[in-house]
Amino acid sequence: MISDILKTVIHPEQDKDIVSLGMVQNFTEQDGKIRFTLQLTKAHDPMAQSIKRSAEAAIIEATGIAPTIIIAEPNVRKRLPNVPKPPKLPLQKTIAIASGKGGVGKSTVTANLAVALARLGYRVGVIDADIYGPSMPKMFGVEGYMPVTEDENSQEIIPAQSHGVKVMSIGFFIKAEDALVWRGPMATNALKQLINQTAWGELDYLLIDLPPGTGDVHLTAVGALKIDGAIVVSTPGKVALLDVVRGIGMLRSKNVNIPIIGIINNMAYFTPAELPDNKYYIFGRGELEKVAQEMRVEVLAEIPLVQSIAENGDSGKPLADGITEDVFMGLAKKISADGNENTF
């Protein structure tokens, strides 16, 4: 009976139930108590806590009994001390995703673009550099991930993996309800650790989700990494466009000096689900294009305003909507070698 209940619990990434995957082991049911081991199929599975909660909920709903579930890591042979680690290849491209102001969808763009690049076959990593408002754990559905080091002799932290993307965020080290009250040096030191102590391995693209505005964190990211280019995210509103000009000015300043790949016009138009070919520019049209022309940068894409983008971000499923999927896949091809024009 319990086996049938647990067959309803599906591993989100492997799309199979945990019984078929052999994850349910050492099962006992005695004196009204249920106990078993949840044997992970891969080390540091970011979905472990989510699967455990789903299994607990399924058993409680069916039997009224709260089970005891022990999570067990797979048996992996430790690296022999005399065998050196394989050298890490340098990153091919590091892209900063920036915005002049908050609330324009910068993090949403970062997550969806990362998944789009991964679907093209690239090895992609994301650094959540928004120290005071980390959102990548939620957007990638890895809020329960607990970072660990590669082994007892290593200082490098293993990033979470979701949707084919490696993710590192300060959000993994704090509770969601905790507010970070850090001075500038504390925030920049935390960012340096995320950058320098993460075991990224071989990557083709590393996307950095910068905090909104300009400040110490931006300068730290520039100093710690060779950033090949920046994408600026904006909405059509006039206030947002004023901040775009400031943001581009910061990126082009002598102390930063990062090439601008282009601007993304987020929430550019509204498209009803029942009328996918219709575009309603409810926030106005043409102003961002004028700013882009004056600043001598390209408008890379127009992202529609659709409810599913927010819903998918809240549920940890980026690039799950047909309309936005086409836009972001086109954007990924445009800025990568898969496109007819490689913009940087």
AA letter at 274: E
Dist CA 162 CA 112 (whole Å): 12
CATH for 93-335 (3.40.50.720, 3.40.47.10, 3.20.20.140, 3.40.50.300): 3.40.50.300
- pLDDT value of position 206: 93
Confidence of residue 123 (pLDDT cuts 50, 70, 90): very high
Residue 334 structure tokens:
């445009």
Instruction: For residue 334, say whether it is annotated as part of any ligand binding site.
Output: no
All residues at 6 or more sequence positions from 152 whose CB lies less than 8 Å from its CB, including other chains: none
Contact call for residues 291 and 262 (beta carbons, < 8 A)? no
Asked if 40 and 74 count as a contact pair (C-beta separation under 8 A), the reply is yes
pLDDT at 182 over 60: no
Q: What is the full DSSP assignment across 280-315?
A: B-TT-SSHHHHHHHHHT--EEEEEEE-HHHHHHHHT
pLDDT at 217: 61
What is the DSSP annotation of 121-132? T--EEEEE--TT
Q: How far apart are CA 23 and CA 38, in angstroms?
A: 5
Percent above pLDDT 90 for the chain: 17
Strand 160-162, strand 165-169: pairing: antiparallel
- Compute the distance between CA of residue 33 and CA of residue 66 in angstroms, rounded to an integer: 8
> Which of 318 and 60 is assigned the larger pLDDT?
60
138 marked as part of a ligand binding site: no
Residue 229: which of 192, 255, 201, 263 has the closest Cα? 263
List, for residues 61-100, the tens digit of each pLDDT value.
Answer: 888 889 898 888 775 444 434 434 434 445 678 898 988 7
CATH number for 10-72 (one of 3.40.50.920, 3.40.50.300, 3.30.300.30, 3.40.50.1820): it is: 3.30.300.30
What is the C-alpha to C-alpha distance for residues 78 and 126, in angstroms, rounded to an integer? 27
Is 317 labeled as ligand-binding?
no
- Residue whose entry in the numeric block shows the structure tokens 């293993």: 158
29 forms bridges with which residues in the sheet? Answer: 34
**Is 101 annotated as a binding-site member?**
yes
pLDDT at residue 337, as a whole number = 66
List where CATH 3.30.300.30 sits in the chain: 10-72
Distance CA 133, CA 176 (A): 10
CB distance 73 to 43 below 8 Å: yes
Residue 202 DSSP symbol: S
Q: What is the mean pLDDT of the chain?
A: 80
Q: Which residues in the chain are classed under CATH 3.40.50.300?
A: 93-335
Ligand-binding site membership of 99 (annotated): no
For 222-237, what is each residue's pLDDT tens digit? 666 778 899 999 888 7
Nearest to 304 by CA among 112, 102, 98, 97: 112
Q: Binding site annotation covers 106?
A: yes
pLDDT digits (tens, 9 = 90+) for 29-71: 888 899 989 888 877 777 788 888 889 999 998 888 898 988 8
201 or 212: whose pLDDT is higher? 201
User: Is residue 102 annotated as involved in ligand binding?
Assistant: yes
Is pTM beyond 0.85 here? no
pLDDT exceeds 50 at position 340: no
The answer to whether 249 touches 100, Cβ cutoff 8 Å, is no
166 is in an annotated binding site: no
Structure-token pair, residue 137? 């754990």
